[in-house]
Amino acid sequence: MSTYTLADLDRLVASRAGTDPGASYTAKLLSEGPAKAAKKLGEEAVEAVIAAVQGDREGLKNEAADVLYHLLVVLKAGGVGLDAVMAELERRTGQSGLAEKASRRPA
């Protein structure tokens, strides 16, 4: 079992931000702005959903890795830290998912 964590990946994304976009895919995505990073996240999420529906476990594993990576890039582009997301998840664990969803304001 790997000990590589989401926090490790987040640090890697942060370390590549602002580097040469010609040498780093992460830097290239970030240099193209939040919309480009979000578009890539959406594409990877759709691919993950398709793999899940098709029962393609290998594909789902690979696409899930892409989704997590691209989510961290979108968070970086949007100025939201992984620690803030994790704190929000921790806050939500104190109540049932149904109660938490019901407490949200309608869109």
CATH number at residue 16: 1.10.287.1080
CA distance 59 to 49: 10
In this structure, is residue 33 part of a structural domain?
Answer: yes
The answer as to whether 91 is a domain residue is no
* Largest Cα span, the chain: 47
The pLDDT of 79-97, averaged and rounded, is 91
Res 96 pLDDT > 80: no
pTM, rounded to two decimals: 0.86
Quickly list DSSP for 33-80: -HHHHHHHHHHHHHHHHHHHHTT-HHHHHHHHHHHHHHHHHHHHHHT-
**Given pLDDT bands bounded at 50, 70 and 90, which one contains residue 28?**
very high
In a domain, 70, yes or no: yes
How is residue 34 written in tokens? 């939040």
Cα 82 to Cα 13: distance, rounded to the nearest angstrom: 11
Identify the band that residue 98 occupies on the pLDDT scale cut at 50, 70 and 90.
Answer: confident
Q: What is the domain extent for residue 58? A: 6-81
| Distance of alpha carbon 29 from alpha carbon 25, whole angstroms | 6
86 lies in some domain: no
Residue with tokens 């996240």: 41
Flag whether 12 is in a domain: yes
pLDDT tens digits, 53-77: 999 999 999 999 999 999 999 999 9
Q: Could you tell me if residue 60 is inside a domain?
A: yes
Q: Is residue 100 part of a domain?
A: no
Mean pLDDT for the stretch of residues 17-35: 96
Number of domains in the chain: 1
> Is the residue at 92 inside a domain?
no
Give yes or no for residue 103 having a pLDDT over 90: no
